[in-house]
Amino acid sequence: MSQTTEQTQYDGLSESEVRLKKLAHYREKGEDAFKYKFDRSHSIKEICEKYAHLESGEKSEDTVILAGRLMAKRGHGKASFGNIADENAAVQYYANIDELGDEVYHDLIHLDVGDIIGIEGKPFVSKRGELSIRLAKFTLLTKSLHSLPEKFHGLQDKETRYRQRYVDLIANPEVRHVFQDRAKIIHFFRDYLHKDNFMEVETPVLQTIYGGASASPFETHHNTLDQKLYMRISLELPLKRLMVGGFERIFEIGRVFRNEGVSYKHNPEYTLLELYQAYTDYHGIMALTETLLSELVKAHTGSTKITYQGTELDFAPPFRRLTMKDALKEYADTDINLDEAGLAKRAKELGCDIPEQYHRGELINLIYDKCVENKLIQPTFIMDHPWETSPLAKRKADDPRYVERFELIINTMEIANAFSELNDPIDQKARFEDQTKAREAGFDETHMTDEDFVTALSYGMPPTGGLGIGIDRVVMLLTDQPSIRDVIAFPHMRDKQI
């Protein structure tokens, strides 16, 4: 085939069209561009480790067989270089026309960046000191029909990165590390809890009554049962029913769904870890949380410190403990024990938007959100919340206006939420009724009454401490990612034809 023919036959074609033509040529020659399997002798990482000892210019007589995606090509006439990458590493190959023959060499240099190939050859170290494979043979395993993003800048466009994460993962190797780290973090939590004798359980995503948090649910419908269903907004109530049943240490890592806004720290579906431990209270859970997170950070970085978006965060226990009362005093110069009118006046002075309907708990929360949470950078336990906003937590024995609850705040984000679980069925029923009253008075996002949950508690749940941890946010912190979308493989996006 003459060169002018090749030039004209590709003239006017887009790159994808050129690749389709190449694919058609393979088919004409009876070659399969989508092979069924390929046996490798090593992963690229194994090769990098095994031949790390080779000196510059030194050759191995071993023949190795590798596979990966062609990430770059550098042609030099009768010799050429390329890079292939597999899941964990990349390596350079070197090829020349003398060793491959005209036809094979021609096929090699007409591969496209993005193609997945198998290569066979001997490891050596190039003049410039780079471990390389001297190519003896190659096989096209999968033809790629789309060109990859430019190699130097990678894929920058956030929209494409999120909508077509597969392209992001190919083009930006550091993105792959984020998801590998995410997997390690989740594995760490599971492993730690199993070793601490917690049992992993699974509870329903589809529920007739949603609960365990203040949030709007997604609604759905079961056709044959003709039943309205909600996607769970938390894991709490089914897990506590299992505690009633007699399990003493359980946990679940699961997706929950909240029909709320989207932001750098909110995705409509996210991953929650909840655990419940019998015969302990929120102090016990606080100690557990502290150990769990500081050990996680140590396992991940080798120290107790991480840097998140330029800020050093220190997870060395003990974390700072601050009651809601002291927090309001320190950060808002406000006495938490003011009456409703006094708190409303203070909230207004502090510039809070006061809703039409409010109660003491709501006002305390408003002041806290406005003045405290956005100041808390180092890991801090905020303790003893007002009872009105915590309908599933046990009241403090010495002051029933507050509950035994803590939230862990890191870098102004709520990372964990925990209570001494309310196990008095009579108080629980009253709390649900208060929620109903609040809803009727115009409060949004109040808890639904769950009669069966009250029934469950009336059989007796031992004293129990419970904890919820937002896994995605922990991953954000440990992988230094600025947005929750960067730690969720397929973050929620509006529909768009692409």
Q: Which of residues 320-339 bind RNA (CB under 7 A)?
A: none
Whether the CB-CB separation of 468 and 272 falls below 8 Å is answered with: yes
Q: Cβ closer to RNA: 19 or 240?
A: 19
Rounded to a whole number of angstroms, the minimum distance from the CB of residue 55 to RNA is 13
Q: Give the one residue of 40, 190, 266, 439 binding RNA; rule: CB under 7 A.
A: 266
SS3 label, residue 82: strand
- Is 15 an interacting residue with respect to RNA (CB under 7 A)? yes
d(CA 174, CA 211): 38
Q: Which stretch binds RNA (CB under 7 A): 154-162, 198-206, 286-294, 377-385?
A: 154-162
Q: Would you say the C-alpha torsion 58, 64, 68, 73 has a positive or negative sign? A: positive
**What six digits make up the tokens of 103?**
């036809």
Strand residues in 362-482 grouped as ranges (E): 380-383, 395-396, 399-403, 405-410, 413-420, 464-470
Q: Give the one residue of 51, 94, 282, 331 binding RNA; rule: CB under 7 A.
A: 94
Q: Cβ closer to RNA: 339 or 495?
A: 495
- Is 128 an interacting residue with respect to RNA (CB under 7 A)? yes
Q: Cβ closer to RNA: 10 or 459?
A: 10
- Is 495 an interacting residue with respect to RNA (CB under 7 A)? yes
**What six digits make up the tokens of 176?**
């792959």
* 468 closest CA partner among 208, 265, 288: 288
Rounded to a whole number of angstroms, the minimum distance from the CB of residue 255 to RNA is 10
Q: Give the one residue of 87, 159, 333, 340 binding RNA; rule: CB under 7 A.
A: 159
Q: Which amino acid is at 131?
A: L
Site for RNA, residues 444 to 473, rule: CB under 7 A: 444-445, 470, 472-473
Rounded to a whole number of angstroms, the minimum distance from the CB of residue 21 to RNA is 9
d(CA 308, CA 298): 15
- Is 29 an interacting residue with respect to RNA (CB under 7 A)? no
Q: Could you give the residue ranges of the DSSP H alpha helices within 196-281?
A: 236-244
CA angle 21, 72, 68 (to 5 degrees): 85
Rounded to a whole number of angstroms, the minimum distance from the CB of residue 64 to RNA is 16
Q: Would you say the C-alpha torsion 46, 52, 53, 56 has a positive or negative sign? A: positive
Q: Give the one residue of 278, 458, 483, 489 binding RNA; rule: CB under 7 A.
A: 483
Rounded to a whole number of angstroms, the minimum distance from the CB of residue 454 to RNA is 21
Q: Cβ closer to RNA: 248 or 269?
A: 269
Site for RNA, residues 57 to 76, rule: CB under 7 A: 72-76
Q: Which amino acid is at 357?
A: Q
Q: Cβ closer to RNA: 294 or 446?
A: 446
- Is 110 an interacting residue with respect to RNA (CB under 7 A)? yes
3-state secondary structure string across 314-334: ECCCCCEEEEHHHHHHHHHCC
- Is 83 an interacting residue with respect to RNA (CB under 7 A)? yes
d(CA 108, CA 102): 10
Q: Which stretch binds RNA (CB under 7 A): 15-23, 39-47, 198-206, 313-321?
A: 15-23
How many binding residues for RNA (CB under 7 A)? 87
**What six digits make up the tokens of 48?**
């990098």
Please measure the distance between the N-terminal and C-terminal CA atoms of the chain and give it in whole angstroms.
37
Whether the CB-CB separation of 188 and 182 falls below 8 Å is answered with: no
Which helix (H) or strand (E) element contains residue 141? strand 131-142
Which helix (H) or strand (E) element contains residue 20? helix 15-28
For 31, phi then psi, to 5°, come to: -100, 140
Site for RNA, residues 268 to 327, rule: CB under 7 A: 268, 270
Site for RNA, residues 402 to 441, rule: CB under 7 A: 413-414, 417
Q: Which stretch binds RNA (CB under 7 A): 186-194, 209-217, 391-399, 451-459?
A: 209-217
- Is 485 an interacting residue with respect to RNA (CB under 7 A)? yes
**What six digits make up the tokens of 388?**
């009105």
d(CA 319, CA 327): 15
Q: Cβ closer to RNA: 244 or 476?
A: 476
- Is 157 an interacting residue with respect to RNA (CB under 7 A)? yes
- Is 151 an interacting residue with respect to RNA (CB under 7 A)? yes
- Is 442 an interacting residue with respect to RNA (CB under 7 A)? no
Provide the mask over 332-371, with x wherever binding to RNA is found by CB under 7 A and - wherever it is not.
Answer: ---------------------x---------------x--
- Is 98 an interacting residue with respect to RNA (CB under 7 A)? yes
**Strand pairing class (79-85; 90-96):** antiparallel
Q: Which stretch binds RNA (CB under 7 A): 96-104, 174-182, 323-331, 431-439?
A: 96-104
**Strand pairing class (116-125; 64-76):** antiparallel
- Is 400 an interacting residue with respect to RNA (CB under 7 A)? no
Rounded to a whole number of angstroms, the minimum distance from the CB of residue 270 to RNA is 4
